[in-house]
Homo-oligomer: A and B are copies of this chain.
Amino acid sequence: MAAMASAGSAHEERYSASGDHAYKRWPRYRAASEGLQNYWYPVAFSKRVGRKPVPVTICGERLFLIRHDGKAFALDDRCAHRGVPLSMGKCWFAGTISCAYHGWTYDLADGSLRAALVDGRDSPIVGNKSVRVRTYPVEEHGGVVFVYVGAGEPPPITHDVPEDFFQPGVRVRGWLRTRKGDWRYAVENGFDEGHSTYLHRGVVWTWIRRKPAYRVVHVEQEGDWLVRTVDDVVEQVDYPGLGTWPHGFRPWQRNVVVRGSVRLPGWVRIQWPDWTAYEVFMGTTDGAHLSFMFAVSHARGLRAAWFGLRFWLYIRWAYMWQFNRQDQQMIEQVRIPPERLFRPDKSVTVWRAHCERNARGMQGPASETAVHLSDGDEPVWDDSDVFDESDVPAAGPG
């Protein structure tokens, strides 16, 4: 991953030198190479978090999760003494974690230093208010652990997480992975209309689902979500001098209508007829990202069991693995700037503009977040046919 990251930055450097920045039009978005601050993020399945610390890197920050007395906690994964990861430590006393190196023992609830095990009862370091590790607000909903990454008082988690997760009895299944590639490329891909009718031909998932030649869409805002809304579906096109696209016609394929949506801080939602797929992309560090995919069904009883079977036998393999692997291969290969956009990229540019205006905070190396483009700074080519202020829904969500 280090190799990839440096290749990426060498590429960016070459173009930066010529003044042709990536995301020139969106300087705040550009600065967020490690993610968006001040949001609640899903970071683990509840059942994976127990007495053994679970390290997580998100928005460039290293933290760990641990459970005590049924409650999950998240703390900075760095001992204040000499910087050893606390996730290498152990829980010797209820509600605390002791660092593996010299036994500094921190309170899970507030990160204060409760004891320095090799310095006795009268250790002067204990009680020093400036010696503590940062704690992160944690909540659990639908079997998922959420952490608030940011400064200040967190907003209610319902502002940041889809309501599906708060429904009583909801069963959430899914898959958490660290993947190569910029988290922004992953979100852009998730909401990108352009590739959706092209890239995914030839995998099992689309074997019975017809892909038209293309769709004409516009973006609407529904509450916190930006939704791609289909204005027209064109089944086949005859390109002059080339021929007909798509090739062939498979009579067994059904038209499946799905709605694709995106929301801050990086949730993508695909609404299948009887279940909903969510995917959240979160910056980590070194140009990698976390991908947390969810399958949510509101079926009950036998139908719920049937959905569970479908998930383990089919959805997880054909959708979450094979289908999404195609996206992942592209996300790893995107090299911008320069980029030239075209009409279907409106879904991408509307998301960028939305993020630019409404995202709470940016996370990136100090040098990047300091970027300020002068007012007169203009894109190097005219993208007015692709990006138009009027495409962006007026009311910015929360």
Contacts and interface: CB of A to CB of B under 8 A. Distances in A.
Nearest to A17: B366
A247 interface: yes
B102 A195 contact: yes
Nearest to A193: B118
Interface string A222-250: 00000000000010011111110101000
Interface string A318-341: 000000000001100111101111
A342 interface: yes
Interface in A202-238: 213-214, 234, 237-238
Interface string A292-336: 000000000000000000000000000000000000011001111
Contacts of A338: 80, 83
This chain: how many copies in the complex?
A: 3
Given A2-B6, A124-B385, A195-B102, A81 B342 contact: yes
B242 A103 contact: no
A116 interface: yes
Nearest to A104: B342
Contact of A85 (B6, B102, B333): B333
Interface string A171-215: 000000000000000000000111101110000000000000110
A54 interface: no
B121 A239 contact: yes
A288 interface: no
Max chain B Cβ within 10 angstroms of own Cβ: one of A100, A105, A194, A336 = A194
A47 interface: no
Contact of A119 (B104, B116, B131, B214): B214
19 contacts: A81-B339, A82-B334, A82-B339, A84-B333, A92-B247, A93-B239, A93-B243, A101-B199, A102-B192, A102-B195, A117-B214, A118-B194, A118-B197, A118-B198, A119-B194, A119-B343, A119-B344, A120-B213, A125-B343
Across the A-B interface, give the 3 residue pairs with the lowest CB-CB distance, nearest first: A83-B335, A93-B242, A125-B342
Given A118-B214, A123-B343, A130-B381, 13 more contacts: A17-B366, A83-B335, A100-B199, A101-B195, A115-B239, A115-B245, A118-B195, A119-B344, A120-B234, A121-B240, A123-B342, A125-B340, A131-B340
